[in-house]
Amino acid sequence: MAEGNRRRIVAGNWKMHGARAALEALASGLAARPANPSESAPEVAVFPPFPYLSAVKRALEAGQAEGGIAVRMGAQDVSAHTEGARTGEVSAPMLADCGCRYVLVGHSERRASCGETDEQVARKFVRAASESLIPVLCVGETLGERNAGRTAEVVLRQLEAVLERVGAGGFGTAVLAYEPVWAIGTGQTATPEQAQEVHAVLRAAIARADAKIAAALRILYGGSVKGANAAALFAQPDIDGGLVGGASLDLKDFWRIITA
């Protein structure tokens, strides 16, 4: 268990991978794993593509009904608006309606390829939280920014954009994810020490506003987490679990991470 009695989360971001049958099978396989009543068992969540949310939810519930583990679900993005003429967007109430508990906001792939700004990410965070979803705010630096010694500056800027709007109270239920862009999908994981250093910087920034909320805040690491490196990462005092991409599509490896 992470420090401060924070319950670890292991979350699988399935990105734009798979198709209905494969993702249903993955969800069923995961939810068929025997439930672990131990208090130190992590919370498990998956983030399927939008069209498969309902199918995955059904598969997860069916597994749990037969004695398998509880797996929560989240979406990979959310609109900053509640409803209206917004072609292609998906609102927070729709996600809640489909059984989502979590939603990623500000994933680096959306910041990079969809041009999402800190300001837009902050608005999505606010919208998700106001609809009872738990936002998972993703922050992280590029390789160029790291090499220029700007890691802390970049992640703090991304965090501050949200903190300014919601205050420390907004992080009472939210989750933070540190995902160095250079480690995503590259096989090049941040070392446990590199990740810990940034997690500590993030927690300290929240602590300046509210020490109690900071101590309870769960900060996940994402970026080439695998069965083989998860335990060393999760052993760090400020790392409270993982946001896993590629390895979450492989049931065996994802389970190794969950049980790390």
Tokens of 186: 């590259």
Radius of gyration, CA atoms only, the chain? 17
Nearer to ligand 13P, 168 or 244 (CB): 244
Helix (H, G, I), strand (E, B), or coil: what is residue 102?
Answer: strand
Among 185, 208, 212, 235, binds ligand 13P (CB under 6 A): 185
If one asks whether residue 253 binds ligand 13P (CB under 6 A), the answer comes out as no
As beta bridge partners, residue 10 has 44, 242
Residue pair 199/235 in contact by the 8 Å Cβ criterion: no
Q: How far is the CB of 35 from ligand 13P (least distance, A)?
A: 25
CB under 6 A: which stretch of 148-156, 157-165, 194-202, 221-229 binds ligand 13P?
221-229
Closest separation in Å from C-beta 185 to ligand 13P: 4
Q: How far apart are alpha carbons 135 and 101 in whole angstroms?
A: 9
The two structure tokens encoding residue 111: 């910041």
Quote the least distance from Cβ 13 to ligand 13P, whole Å: 4
One of 28, 161, 245, 253 touching ligand 13P (CB under 6 A) = 245
Q: Is 13 helix (H, G, I), strand (E, B) or coil?
A: strand
Q: Is 184 in the site for ligand 13P (CB under 6 A)?
A: yes
Residues 188-217 close enough to bind ligand 13P by CB under 6 A: none
Nearest C-alpha neighbor of 21 from the set 66, 55, 60, 57 = 55
Q: Which stretch binds ligand 13P (CB under 6 A): 27-35, 38-46, 116-124, 239-247?
A: 239-247
3-state secondary structure of 242: strand
Q: Which residues does the annotation mark as catalytic?
A: 107, 179
Among 28, 196, 224, 229, binds ligand 13P (CB under 6 A): 224
In sequence order, the 6+-apart residues with CB closer than 8 A to the CB of 133 are 74, 78, 92, 95, 96, 100, 101, 102, 103
DSSP per residue over 198-215, as a string? HHHHHHHHHHHH-HHHHH
Out of 217, 243, 257, 260, name the contact with ligand 13P by CB under 6 A: 243
Residue nearest to ligand 13P (CB): 245
Q: Pick the piece of the chain touching ligand 13P (CB under 6 A) from 2-10, 162-170, 203-211, 222-230.
A: 222-230
Report the interface residues with ligand 13P, using CB under 6 A.
13, 107, 179, 184-185, 222-225, 243-247
